[in-house]
Structure 1
């Protein structure tokens, strides 16, 4: 698998209540998307970003990181072949991503995702 970008998923109770700290204080002024339960805020110059998450919409667990993969289907096959625990199967979501959740040996849950163009 090749990771194209990694986003930190920060658990929050309320995206709207939390966002001013990240947009004003940290300068992550570009709201790339906001679906109510997850939103990404980015610095327009550096590309630094975070995702705020209140709870995943479809997966049974929240992820600590979102790993944007070049080929999510191949990454899924690789994770299965390696015997890693799949905690959410490969799924094409209604909001336009294809993803799965895998648990790293240290227990960290990763959302391995590919956005359709």
Structure 2
């Protein structure tokens, strides 16, 4: 490979953040702290936190990490361990309004390998698959499902 581009005005934390030209390297800014980022935990609004957690466990194969509140109003499910990086965590927040404005977006979950096997297992469990496994030009094989509260989960692995 070639040499990296010459230092620009935003390298080394100098100057204001901006968009560099196509193909250039934009370094991260050193905040002078010892923090580390370890994944994200999206929060999905659901109509029933306990029911949603059971769906993720019983149908999608996640583990219920916790269900909180009396009556339950917040839950977190988990899949995976630290063998291949951080586990996937999804938080389920009970908002209880079916007439609320629907959330528009999706969560992409990297599963490493055997995307087709996971798809087949979910089909056997009656999961609402909205896109079948497809090899994408960006190097991933992926499929998408819609869970009972309407959220889209896209499962993918490298080709």
TM normalised by structure 1 equals 0.46
Looking at both structures, which has the greater relative contact order when contacts are Cα pairs under 8 Å and sequence separation is at least 6? 1
Structure number, greater radius of gyration: 2
TM normalised by structure 2 equals 0.35
